[in-house]
Amino acid sequence: MPTPFVLSAPTRADLLALAGSVGGGVDPRDLAARARQDHPFRVVLLAEGPADLDRLPALAAAATARPEPGPLALLFSGQSSQRLGMGEQLRRAFPVFDAVLAEVEEQVRPLLPAPLREVVAGDDPDPLDRCANAQPALMGVGLGLAELLRVAGVRPDYVCGHSFGEYVAAAATGVWSTQDAATIVARRGLLIDDLPPGGGMVAVEAPEADVTAELPPGVTISAVHSPTSVAVAGPVELVERVAAVFAARGARTARLGVGGAYHSPAVEPVLAPLAEVIAAHPAKPGGVPLVSNTTGGVVPPGDLATPEHWVRHCRQPVLWSGVMSTLVAQGVGTFLDVGPSGALGRLAAAWLPEDRRGSVVASLGAEPDEVTALLTGLARLDARGHHVDWAAVLDALA
């Protein structure tokens, strides 16, 4: 497991001098305690051993002054971003992360046929792909990452999520307690799993108006990801027919790995029971502005505490392109993917112009390992000018 070594200085010359003085016996906690947020010249080295410290002078020589960061948005991944084993390495390294996942697992245990951790840590992806398992599992990972970011001193200016990820974003801002959020999404997943089979979704690389013109009765736009990318939902044979029309025109199409026609009329049978589930749990306005899938705009804080918001959210299409437009209009400078695989970050990067895609940062991934992925994400935030309390990160390690 790598260890972060953090150097900061007011000038490059000072940084070079500091880098040259670091020896193999230095305590990384001492370095982290001496690093100052107001120093513009910084190096964060993830060292696997003492020999890696020899790289510090070269890194210091190449350092440039950190930019003003601009607002930070957290992007919480939705369903289909789950993967087997997600969070297992991270929970062994960070007890605070493990505690959040354990709380979620304990809360949903009476609701699910098998212990959630066994499903996530197993070798069969099919049970994890069921909504009743995927959604609380993603809630645990998302809230665990949010807690690690809080410990690290990272404070977002905006949050959002893709589809189900909006529940995680809301919970991360305090709309529900961890226990209530876990129960809500497990019950929501059970409701969706009980819908009649036969629905599907297809992504189409074409403008919304062009796709809408080709939709047969029973198929609707379920997501707008960019001006030239949408998803459609409906009966499998009909959405595949739409995909074939656009594939014949040379457009890219892809069947989405979900088990139903979400954000479409197919989910209407769950709306009333979902409202009852939401109403049964105490809620309050969130503490950070949330940009919603339903409108593409910032949600009035009190709306997140109402069943009506979540009923609309379930039925209406995901206006991801609108979410990104709002975040960019608000001056967001860094987009941090908060999920197990960086999937939503890739979707955000695809929306942005090429010269801004470096503003998307992943907080977690399977490669090379989860701990390195998290520390690399924090280092990238630091390099972009955002505050990271590296002393607290080192203290949080097991």
Nearest to 255 by CA among 332, 329, 203: 203
Q: Residue 116: CB partners within 8 Å, gap ≥ 6?
A: 104, 105, 108, 109, 133, 136, 137, 140
Nearest to 326 by CA among 335, 314, 317: 335
pLDDT of the residue at 24: 76
Please compute, for residue 323, the number of CA atoms within 13 A of its CA located in the half-sphere on the CB side.
31
Phi and psi based region of residue 113 (left: phi greater than 0; alpha: psi -120 to 50; beta: remaining): alpha
- Any alpha helices (H) in 35-115, and if so which ranges? 56-62, 88-93, 95-108
Please compute, for residue 100, the number of CA atoms within 13 A of its CA located in the half-sphere on the CB side.
29
CA distance 203 to 225: 9
Nearest to 205 by CA among 242, 231, 223: 231
Domains annotated on the chain, with CATH: 3-62 (no CATH), 72-188+267-365 (3.40.366.10), 199-256 (3.30.70.250)
CA distance 242 to 248: 10
CA distance 217 to 17: 70
CA distance 84 to 119: 8
pLDDT of the residue at 233: 97
pTM: 0.95
pLDDT of the residue at 199: 95
pLDDT tens series, the chain, 398 aa: 899 999 999 999 999 999 999 987 899 999 999 999 999 999 999 999 999 999 999 999 999 999 999 999 999 999 999 999 999 999 999 999 999 999 999 999 999 999 999 999 999 999 999 999 999 999 999 999 999 999 999 999 999 999 999 999 999 999 999 999 999 999 999 999 999 999 999 999 999 999 999 999 999 999 999 999 999 999 999 999 999 999 999 999 999 888 899 999 999 999 999 999 999 999 999 999 999 999 999 999 899 999 999 999 999 999 999 999 999 999 999 999 999 999 999 999 999 999 999 999 999 999 999 999 999 999 999 999 999 999 999 999 97
CA distance 384 to 365: 20
Nearest to 373 by CA among 72, 148, 57, 163: 148
Is the distance from CB of 63 to CB of 43 less than 8 angstroms?
A: yes
Rounded to a whole number of angstroms, the CA Rg of the chain reads 22
